[in-house]
Structure 1
Amino acid sequence: MKDAYIIFRNQYPQTRREVLALIKEFCQKHDLHYSEPANTDSLTVNIEGEIYTVDVHEEKEESGSVYWIIYCLRKKHLYLFRNILEPVHAKG
């Protein structure tokens, strides 16, 4: 079991269903047990028996290229990834 699974994409996943399909495909490729959430309002998944919260972020390279990162983070360890998920704002 891992604290996080990270999936990189060149295109923005347009819908919740597409995000879940990408995670399912990732799990199948890596022989991980995957199940979708019973609650269709939240974006969580079950991977290897653990609940992961899903978040999607845009990243830009210096060249101007844009890619997307799908984070699957164990709820237990969300605090460790706070600096990744929340942008740092300069204090003025």
Structure 2
Amino acid sequence: MWVNLCLFLVVVSCSLVYVVQVNTSATKGYQIRDLETAINQLQLDNQSMQVKISEIRSMKNIAAKVPMLGMVKAETPVYLSSFPSTVSLNR
């Protein structure tokens, strides 16, 4: 009698542990899927922002903003010459 009761309790306990483990695994699977979806969306957003950055940094966009910033074209640039650029090794 006691043996049957003990075996029954062991079977019920193992069944409960199994159900909890399967439920936990399924829940983790859904969480992983949701995180992968979020990663994919963030990667798409990142690519979109990289395209916008490239457009903003383009010469066409910069050239359009030059007058708005009050810049003018240099008529005759003046170049500075440095002191003698020859270098020797003293040994």
TM interval, short-chain normalised: under 0.3
Q: Over alpha carbons, which structure has the higher Rg?
A: 2
- Larger RCO, structure (CA 8 Å, separation 6 or more): 1
TM-score normalised by the chain length of structure 1: 0.19
TM-score normalised by the chain length of structure 2: 0.19
Q: Which has the higher helix share?
A: 2
Q: Which has the higher strand share?
A: 1
